[in-house]
Amino acid sequence: MAALPAPTRAAERVALVVELDGAINPVATEFILDSIERAEKQEAACLILELDTPGGLYKSTHVICKAILASRVPFITYVAPAGARATSAGVFITYASHLAAMHPASAIGAAHPVNLGGGQADSTMAEKVENDAVAFIRSLAERHGRNADWAEEAVRKSRSITAAEALKLEVVDLVVEDVPQLIAAINGRKVRMEHGEEEIHSTGAEVIRLEMNWRQRILDHVSDPNVAYVLMTLGMLGMLFELYNPGTLLPGVMGSIFLILAFYGLHTLPINYAGLLLIFVAIVLFILEIKVTSYGMLTIGGIVAMLLGSLMLIDIDPSIEADFLRIRLGVIIPAVAVTALFFGFAITKGILAQRRQPAGGIEGLVGESGVARTAIEPGTEGRVLVHGELWTAESDEPIRAGERVRVLSGEGLRLRVGRG
């Protein structure tokens, strides 16, 4: 019996599309690497990255670029949709791709490396980082025949250009309106792969969009410094609420989870340890407020320390545009205000509780009225009924049985009363 012919490659051909809208971080790196692996397993005609990014971490960018260069499937970066930009790390990824395309209403550039070492780096170190970035992007440009001189200007001078300029300067290979137009335009193009030159066959390919799984989506949001900071604040409040009210459990458990997620989000960021120390000092002051009666002074000090620490927490050169790495003031102020209200409420309740007359025990009976059940003479004891309970009582003045009395003080199980 003759074997049935295998299905044609054209009938099975797929084009995978992944969308990345946000900063380049470890989660984005994992997502892109997973997508490349899936494209290779499916023997896809190509893998298209629809990119809109303000930049990201240099280490993550380097890992992505290496994965693109080693990919066995043609990797195309498409800066889209309208209004998208490939800034900083996005330039490196675009240059590493086998083909680069842009939407007509998009932009690319400003690839000056962000100092993640904290604050103003010394000139020698800054020059080394810049030269390393220039050498890396020039090597990518030369590999794929793109404009290496402009790439160097994008790193050294933070130059940015439009899609039309990028096509004219041979920064990108195509300017197209959408993904279907891109798939049609790349058909028959030859690209340089690690294993040699390969022609793209994309005609009739089924477009399949890949998305982050639920774990990656959660971690991607957590990696936002503003989200991480809010989680850290909520975690701190949860833990402190548990200390104020031992045994409630839920605030402590949720606080622990929030703090772990916050530390995950912050561990890849350029942390200023002085700012982090100030936040820890604020936590210590808040905890001490539980143990020490300072009438709010420790809490005020904690709020000031938290505000200053929050402003200092992310440490990057202020002259560099890297808003995706900064905690917005619009997040810091409400977080500090909520913390202040929380502890202001707790302190107010604490002071009122201290001033309130005890409601239980013998101290709680002082000032209360009752009835003498027996006569009481000075120097002798009698019995009085207060709050439905019989107490042994003594008095400095004679009191008749049945007469109203008022509790003046108490010691042990004996009350001192007077006519009331």
Amino acid in the structure at residue 316: I
Q: What is the pLDDT of residues 385-395, one digit of tens each?
A: 887 788 888 98
pLDDT score of 356: 57
For the chain, give percent helix, strand, coil, nearest 5: 50, 20, 30
Query: Looking at the domain assignment, is residue 5 inside a domain?
Result: no
CATH number at residue 406: 2.40.50.140
305 and 350: one domain? yes
Query: Looking at the domain assignment, is residue 248 inside a domain?
Result: yes
pTM value? 0.73
Could you give the CA distance from residue 68 to residue 9 in angstroms, rounded to a whole number?
23
Burial class of residue 360 in the structure, from the number of CB atoms within 10 Å of its CB (0-12 exposed, 13-18 middle, 19+ buried) = exposed
What percentage of the chain has pLDDT greater than the value 70?
86
120 and 248: one domain? no
List the structure tokens of 238: 């949860």
Q: Which one of 35, 88, 202, 395 is the catalytic residue?
A: 88
70 and 198: one domain? yes
244 and 338: one domain? yes
100 and 163: one domain? yes
pLDDT score of 33: 96
pLDDT score of 359: 53
Query: Looking at the domain assignment, is residue 6 inside a domain?
Result: no
Q: What is the pLDDT of residues 139-153, one digit of tens each?
A: 999 999 999 999 999
201 and 249: one domain? no
Query: Looking at the domain assignment, is residue 151 inside a domain?
Result: yes
Domains identified in the chain, total number: 3
Query: Looking at the domain assignment, is residue 7 inside a domain?
Result: no
228 and 211: one domain? no
Q: Which of 164, 40, 172 is nearest to 99 (CA)?
A: 172
Query: Looking at the domain assignment, is residue 3 inside a domain?
Result: no
* Highest-pLDDT range among 82-86, 203-207, 214-218, 290-294: 82-86
Helices 58-70, 26-41: inter-axial angle, 10-degree rounding: 10
Q: Which residue has the higher pLDDT, 23 or 101?
A: 101
305 and 399: one domain? no
pLDDT score of 339: 83
| Domain membership of residue 94 as a residue range | 12-215
- Asked whether 55 and 87 are in contact (CB, 8 A), the reply is yes
Q: What is the mean pLDDT of the segment spanning 340-358?
A: 63
Query: Looking at the domain assignment, is residue 233 inside a domain?
Result: yes
Query: Looking at the domain assignment, is residue 133 inside a domain?
Result: yes
31 and 164: one domain? yes
Active site residue 88: yes
Of 215, 250, 283, which residue is a domain's last? Answer: 215
Of 186, 215, 244, which residue is a domain's last? Answer: 215
Q: How far is CA 282 from the centre of its chain?
A: 20
Could you give the CA distance from residue 81 to residue 329 in angstroms, rounded to a whole number?
29
Active site residue 128: yes
Q: What is the pLDDT of residues 187-205, one digit of tens each?
A: 999 999 988 899 999 988 9
How high does pLDDT run on average in the chain? 85
Could you give the CA distance from residue 380 to residue 345 in angstroms, rounded to a whole number?
49
Least confident range from 66-75, 176-185, 300-309, 386-395: namely: 386-395
Q: What is the pLDDT of residues 36-69, one digit of tens each?
A: 999 999 999 999 999 999 988 888 899 999 999 9
Q: How confident is the model at residue 265 (pLDDT cuts 50, 70, 90)?
A: confident
370 and 332: one domain? no
CATH number at residue 126: 3.90.226.10
